[in-house]
Amino acid sequence: MSFSRRGVLSVAAAALFLAGCGSSGSETPQGGGGSGAAQEKVTIEWWHIQNIEPMKPVWDQLAKDYMAAHPNVTINITALENEAFKAKMTTVAQSGESPDIYQTWGGGVLKQQADAGIAKDITADVASWIDTITPAASAAYKLDGKVYGIPYDIGMVGFWYNKALFAKAGIEGTPATWGEFIDDVKKLKAAGITPLSLAGKAKWPGHYYWAYLAMRIGGLPALKEASVSKSFENPDFIAAGQKLKELSDLQPFQKGFLGAPYDTPEGQAATMGNAKAAMELMGQWAPNVQRDTSKDLGDDLGFFPFPSVEGGKGAGTDAFGGGGGFAVGGDAPPEAVDFLKFITSADSVRKTVGTGVILPVVKGVEDAVTDPRGKMVADSLAQATDFQLYLDQAYPPAVGAQVNDSVAELIAGTKSPEEVVKAITEVAQSE
């Protein structure tokens, strides 16, 4: 089977794809899906976004291992950069097709895909092994008690910083509060150092600032309430915008940041890796993208959680982030789910975690995290009191996209904090 076809989707359903930005009972590549149709030739189309080292060759090898154990199965891999993936998925959806296995981040985007029949309910298919996956990792892929996706990674967003540049600016330690963070930004500027690297063109990295500030000021209940009331026009969200404007007014980002992508030699990660900025707010994958697009900062690279906000209702230990996962196409063959069982087996997870960019989602393999950068994030996650999925994934696609767009305009100085929440609310209420 090349693709799962669900009939010709409407343009609205196709637009779902614009927003996207476990030890098994078997330790070998075996499972129920392949054995039941041993003689039938099966083709699985697998689309993912791990298009560079170190993960791409690992996924490639796992697919080869599975096919070696299941000679009747052919897995065709399409590895795409994040934005290219979203664009290609949109085109495919408009023609009424979907890959058998495809990248997902769960949340509101996955829900709309499930409602449209694009993502398959795999609850019964994974019932015998879903409990091997940690609850925190699988939560984003469960909708109304049903399973629509399987995670392969979990992590959090925080500040990666250059210890040498901090020392040059006379900064000792890392900031625990927003006030201390602003003071450090000023110290870095005074020392002639660019405080922050940001991919303004990509937009999604900027929404991390507003989301974290909203969490720290209003608390997670405020974000959950907004998803129900479809209103973001409250003082806490406006205050989050005001804090971000306070930061932006200091001009803390690198020159040309508004046109900067994320993962290219001229992008956010490379600016950080080349020591042209002291900090970037990014997920657990940041060190590897820095290395692949520029240089490895080595022992100079540190990590600290997003600071608490003085007087805020949210806990400074609440984490924001998510991880990658895979959904199964509506008409995918049983072997597709069986392959997901294989790549979330303990042996497979140890191989993915061994890359240093993946944190385990499977119980009992925590010891596989040996990379010191991965341990930094893992330690912060271990202390997290609660967890919030990326807003451009937690909310419906159109709402998430508006969050990214409006926050980008706030950072650029073309939209006020009040205009940000008004724009997001208007889109939320039109859904």
HSE toward the beta carbon, residue 162, CA cutoff 13 A? 27
Q: Which fold has domain 156-320+392-430?
A: D-Maltodextrin-Binding Protein; domain 2 (3.40.190)
Q: How confident is the model at residue 347 (pLDDT cuts 50, 70, 90)?
A: very high
Q: Write a three-state SS string for the chain.
A: CCCEECCCCCHHHHHHHHCCCCCCCCCCCCCHHHHCCCCCCEEEEEEECCCCCCHHHHHHHHHHHHHHHCCCEEEEEEECCHHHHHHHHHHHHHCCEECCEEEECCHHHHHHHHHCCCECCCHHHHCCCHHHECHHHHHHHEECCEECEEECCCEECEEEEEHHHHHHCCCCCCCCEHHHHHHHHHHHHHCCCCCECCCCCCCHHHHHHHHHHHHHHHCHHHHHHHHHHCCCCCHHHHHHHHHHHHHHCCCCECCCHHHCCCCCCCCHHHHHHCCCCCEEEECCCHHHHHHHHCCCCHHHEEEECCCECCCCCCCCCCEEEECCEEEEECCCCHHHHHHHHHHCCHHHHHHHHCCCCCCCCECCCHHHCCCHHHHHHHHHHHCCCCEEECHHHHCCHHHHHHHHHHHHHHHHCCCCHHHHHHHHHHHHHHC
The two structure tokens encoding residue 209:
């600032």
Location of each CATH 3.40.190.10 domain in the chain: 4-154+323-364, 156-320+392-430
Average pLDDT in the chain: 89
Per the CB < 8 A criterion, the answer to whether 248 and 411 are in contact is yes
- pTM given for the model: 0.76
Cα 254 to its chain centre, rounded Å, is 23
In one letter, which amino acid is 317? T
Mean pLDDT of 62-76: 97
Percent of the chain with pLDDT over 70: 90
CB 359 within 8 Å of CB 353:
yes
The token duo for 379 is 């330690």
Return the pLDDT at 20. Answer: 42
Statement: 4-154+323-364 belongs to CATH 3.40.640.10: no
Torsion of Cα atoms, 188 then 193 then 196 then 202, to 10°: 160
Q: Which of 9-13, 29-33, 276-280 has the lowest mean pLDDT?
A: 9-13
Per-residue model confidence (pLDDT) at position 147: 97
Residue 85 C-alpha from the chain's centroid: 14
pLDDT at 222 over 80: yes
- Burial letters 203-233, b for 16+ CB under 10 A, else e: bbbbbbbbbbbbbbbbbbebbeebbeebebe
Residues 120-136 pLDDT 10s: 999 999 999 999 998 87
Q: Say if residue 11's pLDDT is above 80.
A: no
Closest alpha carbon to 200 in 357, 404, 395: 404
pLDDT in tens, 386-425: 889 999 888 988 999 999 999 999 999 999 999 999 999 9
Tell which wins on pLDDT, 356 or 205: 205
Which pLDDT score, from 0 to 100, does residue 355 have? 84
Give the span between the Cα atoms of 215 and 238, in whole angstroms.
12
